[in-house]
Amino acid sequence: MAGRGCHLYIAATLPIPEYDDTELLHRNLAAAARRAEAVAALVSLTEAQHFTAKRRAIRAALAEDGVAAEIEALVDALLPS
């Protein structure tokens, strides 16, 4: 499947477990997401920027902070290989 909407198919087929606050991994992922939100909120964006430029700037800030790699590692641990 290719084209628009294929991400919906992929997301629907991933075995993503329901959030369980008794699971340390789940709590760590939620905390990393909150940190990512805070980092993203500090990125200076303008209305004139195209959404792809905004997305690129936010991704760069998340990578520079290290939270992007942290989230990726936590998701890797969460999903079966």
Is 0.85 surpassed by the pTM of this model?
A: no
Asked if residue 41 belongs to a domain, the reply is: yes
Q: What is the pLDDT of residue 39?
A: 98
Number of domains in the chain: 1
Contact 36, 67 (CB under 8 A): yes
Give dist(CA 61, CA 68) in Å, integer: 9
Range of the domain at 73: 19-78
The pLDDT of residue 78 is above 90: yes
Per-residue pLDDT tens digits for 1-57: 556 777 777 777 888 889 999 999 999 999 999 999 999 999 999 999 999 999 999
Give dist(CA 36, CA 52) in Å, integer: 18
Asked if residue 50 belongs to a domain, the reply is: yes
- The phi-psi region of residue 3 (left if phi > 0; otherwise alpha if psi is between -120 and 50; otherwise beta) is left
Asked if residue 53 belongs to a domain, the reply is: yes
